[in-house]
Structure 1
Amino acid sequence: MLENIINSVKGQLTGELQNKFQLQPDTASKSVDLAKDSLAAGLKQQASSGDFGGMMDILKGQKSPTEHSGMNSMIGNYVNDLTTKLGVPESIAKQVGPFVISFLMNKVSGKVSADGTSQSDLMGMFGGIKDKLSGGLGDKLGGLFK
């Protein structure tokens, strides 16, 4: 689901990165791909750390992405990746990071709200994370998403 949403807005986001931050087309496209990977990894990490409730608040549009410490950590990791992997200057990456992650999370949140996506569907977005959680926590969480 996450990949489909990001792929559906990639052209729009790439254009915005070129217009707002003067990124070259190739760099803008790679920035979106990098954001997809960063966001997926970050969401899975947050869910597996037991902070699924905080992520649910964001995915359901009840909190903005920048109101959550885990999202700020994802943004920081993404900014680092932009500078080290794509050579984006740090001053620009620090502007691009929050913009891109917030943009994508707002699109995901909008899709969740518009489609009436169930919590179990959201769990699927995390790659079946409930099966990977230890100590029976996965089963307990799984019961919440039925």
Structure 2
Amino acid sequence: MLDSIINSVKGQLTGELQNQFKLDPGQANRSVDLAKEHMTEGLKKEATGGDFGGIMDMLKGKKSHEDNPATNNMIQSYVNDLSAKVGIPESMAKQVGPFVISFLMGKISGKVQAEGMGQSDVMGMLGGGLKDKLTKGMGDKLGGLFN
């Protein structure tokens, strides 16, 4: 589902990147694809690392995504890859990175809020067997209480 949300706004976002940052269409397209990878992996990593409550607060609009360390980590990693993999100069990547991640987080958050998604819905949205990983991880952290 995360892929479908990002894919649904890809045209709009690539247009913004071309207009605001003067990226060529290929760079804009690769930038959005790379952002999707970073967001998917970053959110999964945070969720399985024990900060699922923080992710839910962010996606439900209770906390700003700019204040979330996970978002900042995603942006930093993404900025590095924009330069290395897409060929965007570092000074430009430092502007593009926060813009793209914030844009996409806003769209994902809007979807979560509009549909009243709960934790299990968001786990499903992130995909990749996340629900099983989280359940097992929480059980391990609680001394096997749920195993």
Fold-level match, TM-score > 0.5? yes
Q: Percent identity?
A: 66
Match of 2:130 in 1: 129
**Contact 1:130/1:139, CA 8 A, preserved across alignment:** no
Distance in 2, Cα, partners of 1:74 & 1:137: 23
Aligned pairs, number: 140
Unaligned regions of 5+ residues in structure 2, if any? 142-147
Distance in 2, Cα, partners of 1:42 & 1:58: 14
**Contact 1:75/1:97, CA 8 A, preserved across alignment:** yes
Please tell me whether residue 41 in structure 1 is matched to residue 41 in structure 2.
yes
Matches within 5 A, 1:1-146: 1-127=1-127, 128-133=129-134, 137=138
How big is the shift at 1:70? 1.2
**Structure 1's 15 and 138: CA in aligned 2 closer, same or farther, altered over 3 A?**
farther
TM-score, L = length of structure 1? 0.89
- The CA deviation string for residues 11-50 of structure 1, in whole angstroms up to 9 with x for no partner, is 0000000111110011001100110011000000111110
Q: Specify the code of the residue in structure 2 equivalent to 1:17.
A: L
How big is the shift at 1:60? 0.7
**Structure 1's 48 and 18: CA in aligned 2 closer, same or farther, altered over 3 A?**
same
**Contact 1:61/1:106, CA 8 A, preserved across alignment:** no
Unaligned regions of 5+ residues in structure 1, if any? 141-146
